[in-house]
Amino acid sequence: MVSGFRALVAAWTLVLGALIATPAAAGVLQCVPYARQISGIELYGNAQTWWGQAAGRYDRGNEPRVGAVLAFSASRAMPVGHVAMVSQVVSDREVLLTHANWSYRGGIERDVRAVDVSPNNDWTDVRVWYGPIGGLGTRSNPAKGFIYPHQAPASDKVQIAMASASDGAAAGRAF
């Protein structure tokens, strides 16, 4: 009986030692890598730096568009800011967001409601769905605006299509 108890204590010591040796943040999904993955916007660093980094690299604005990333400012509640991708535009004052690490540590939330409550209708003050209360959060969050992913203008798409077609025709003639 004593040796069985010692084996059990030894096993628990190994398990607890492994848990203690693992950093608390290991494996926790953060908003930045998730937003980068789902939006294709190639920015790095804390979320609070995305707005500034996007200047000259990506179009930015205050109009919600599907695929755009809403860049939240740093605040007391969010010292490193937050980023979330627009998955649907409901109206000019309401969108659905897909993001990570908001309501639940490391959790992903898809198509959650966000409402522009800014006095100038410019998405600089936003209330976002918060899972633990089952509704919009009790506070608003400061935001910079939207960062838009790169998209080739329609005229560029036509030129690319025409070039591909002429390359295919030339390749067909070579045989």
Domain that holds residue 146: 31-153
Residue 17 lies in a domain: no
pTM of the complete model: 0.72
SS3 96: strand
Helix intervals (H) in 22-146? 31-39, 50-54
Phi, psi of 171, rounded to the nearest 5 degrees: -65, -40
Query: What's the token pair of residue 89?
Result: 């535009």
Here the CATH number for the domain that contains residue 122 is 3.90.1720.10
What is the pLDDT tens value at each position of the chain, 175 positions in all?
555 555 554 444 444 443 333 334 456 899 999 999 999 999 999 999 999 999 999 999 999 999 999 999 999 999 999 999 999 999 999 999 999 999 999 999 999 999 999 999 999 999 999 999 999 999 999 999 999 998 644 444 444 344 444 444 433 333 2
What total number of domains does the chain contain?
1
Q: What is the DSSP secondary structure assignment for residue 38, as one 8-state letter? A: H
Report whether 31 contacts 100 (CB < 8 A): yes
